[in-house]
Amino acid sequence: MDNRGRRHWIAPSILSLLLLAAIIWGYNQYYVKSKYEVALENQYQRLFYDVKKHVENVQVGLSKALVASSKERNILLFSQIMSDANFAQDKLGQLPISHAEVANTEKFLTQAADYCYYLIQKHLEGEDITPEQREALTNLQNNSAAFNEELDRLHQAMADSSFMYGVASNMGFGGRRNQEDGLGSQLQASLLNLEAGVSETPELIYDGPFADQMLNRKPVGLPQNKVSMEEAQQAAIEFFGEDRVQDVEAFELGENINEARIPAYTFNLFPNNQQRELAVYMGVAQQGGKVLWMSNPRPISNAQISVEEAEQYAIEYLKEKGFENMVSNYYLQYDGGVLFNFVNTENDITIYPDLVKVKVALDTGEIVGFDASAYYLNHQDREFDTPEISVEEAASTLREGFEVDSIRLALIPKGKREVLCYEFKGMYEDSQFIVYVNVLNGKEEEILQLIHNENGTLTF
């Protein structure tokens, strides 16, 4: 063979080798991809079967609770239902279904768990289930039965379909498979069937963190009169200091702003000596034109003042803005500033729901953050209970070995209610805790753990 003949072979053989390499590489990719797909599919299948099992348990548990006649049995049943409903809710939220389809079902499960927790508390207080609560339980039972039936129908139908069909097109991996066949979309359809049923049942009336009444709470601490955008803008400028504002810009509002938790106008205030990107933000309530919150995101240089000095600045600021009798509780130091939690006091009672937060920059002592939304949400004229048990009696209920450092009267939020308590702050073993004991019946209402570090205190 001569040289020329050989050269004819070089290009094709290199190309075919490259092709071979590409095929091997491609196959490798395909192999890895299908491995991932199977792993993910298995995970989804597991979640689906778990959801089904948990919903079944919820349904059976509720039926038993309707039969059970003793409080002890009910408490056990409710705690099981609570954990099963929570698990079902958690796992349903991990399935690849869009939120729109799953929202009401998740809400139903969360509230079922929350409602059971509420009933456990009622039972522990010695109360029986009222006819209304029984009816609510029956409704919950019916809804979970309907959910269970849908899940069962789905299980029968799923035979050889998989979640990944739906996911592939849903997540935009390219929809080469038919989306209709996907278990995910079948589940979505079932959930839509269910939504109709769930939304027809009356809302649960109870006191818990996830109750509708908590979500739809309206501020009680704001005046009734409505202010216009111009008045609110003037209030914002005055709040920040008329001579310091160069320009104001209002945020665009949507048509439903009246349905927000606290309907408000929001402004950008451009201070005199700052760059335009570093505006100060402020929210002003439509009711009464009160400033709800303020945030000044300017960069903060090295600390020049101490936390104690900063606290003085914060107290003066609050006085100037019309908040009297506020005491600072805990502080948290971060990003060059220090955040103080101020709460209201009346008749020597610390009122925790009336909370105002103030953030002070440690370089100049300027107030760079203010948040009174909690205050306006909760503040009202209150009638306080007169303690029926003495401090000594309350202290005697504490665990042995709990060393009390300080005692005071405090009003704490408990769901929708506010409870007057003795506040015992102290150490147990090596950790610091606050224990709240009800002044009427000596019940332990709440325990908080305090975590200190050099930046301040967090409560858990």
- Binders of other proteins in range 20-59 (CB under 8 A): 20-21, 24-25, 28, 32
Q: Which is nearer to other proteins, 240 or 293 (CB)?
A: 293
**Chosen residue from 34, 42, 43, 94 binding other proteins by CB under 8 A:** 94
d(CA 442, CA 390): 9
**Chosen residue from 174, 254, 322, 401 binding other proteins by CB under 8 A:** 254
Q: Give how far Cα 231 sits from Cα of 175, 234, 247, 276, 380, Å.
A: 54, 5, 15, 24, 24
Residue 55 makes CB contacts below 8 A (sequence gap 6+) with 84, 88, 109, 144, 147, 148, 151
Task: Give the three-state DSSP class for 344.
Answer: strand
* Residue 260 makes contact with other proteins by CB under 8 A: yes
* Residue 67 makes contact with other proteins by CB under 8 A: no
**Chosen residue from 14, 157, 220, 327 binding other proteins by CB under 8 A:** 14
What tokens were used for 361? 């920059």
Q: Minimal CA–CA distance to 373: which of 292, 294, 296, 314?
A: 292
Cβ distance 421 to 349 under 8 Å? no
**Shortest distance, CB of residue 281 to other proteins, whole angstroms?**
4
Residues in 267-286 that interact with other proteins by CB under 8 A: 277, 279, 281, 283
Q: Which amino acid is at 178?
A: N
CA dihedral for 298, 299, 302, 307, sign (positive or negative): positive
CA dihedral for 133, 134, 137, 138, sign (positive or negative): negative
Q: Which is nearer to other proteins, 287 or 438 (CB)?
A: 287
Residues in 96-135 that interact with other proteins by CB under 8 A: 96-100, 103-104, 106-107, 110-111, 114
Per-residue binding string, other proteins, 171-190, x by CB under 8 A, is x-------------------
Residues in 366-425 that interact with other proteins by CB under 8 A: 369, 371, 373-374
Residues in 135-154 that interact with other proteins by CB under 8 A: none
Half-sphere exposure of 278 (CA within 13 A, CB side): 11
What tokens were used for 343? 């709460």
Separation of CA 140 from chain center: 24
What is the phi/psi pair of residue 240, to 5°? -85, -25
Cβ distance 81 to 116 under 8 Å? yes
Q: Which is nearer to other proteins, 47 or 435 (CB)?
A: 47
**How many residues interact with other proteins (rule CB under 8 A)?**
79
**Shortest distance, CB of residue 1 to other proteins, whole angstroms?**
6
* Residue 166 makes contact with other proteins by CB under 8 A: no
Residues in 213-232 that interact with other proteins by CB under 8 A: 215
**Shortest distance, CB of residue 392 to other proteins, whole angstroms?**
32
Residues in 424-443 that interact with other proteins by CB under 8 A: 430-431
Give the helix ranges, DSSP H, for 357-425.
373-378, 391-396
**Chosen residue from 142, 149, 169, 336 binding other proteins by CB under 8 A:** 336
**Shortest distance, CB of residue 245 to other proteins, whole angstroms?**
17
Stretch that binds other proteins, among 83-91, 229-237, 391-399, 434-442 (CB under 8 A): 83-91
* Residue 210 makes contact with other proteins by CB under 8 A: yes
Q: Minimal CA–CA distance to 183: which of 155, 210, 209?
A: 155
Half-sphere exposure of 414 (CA within 13 A, CB side): 17
**Shortest distance, CB of residue 441 to other proteins, whole angstroms?**
29
* Residue 170 makes contact with other proteins by CB under 8 A: yes
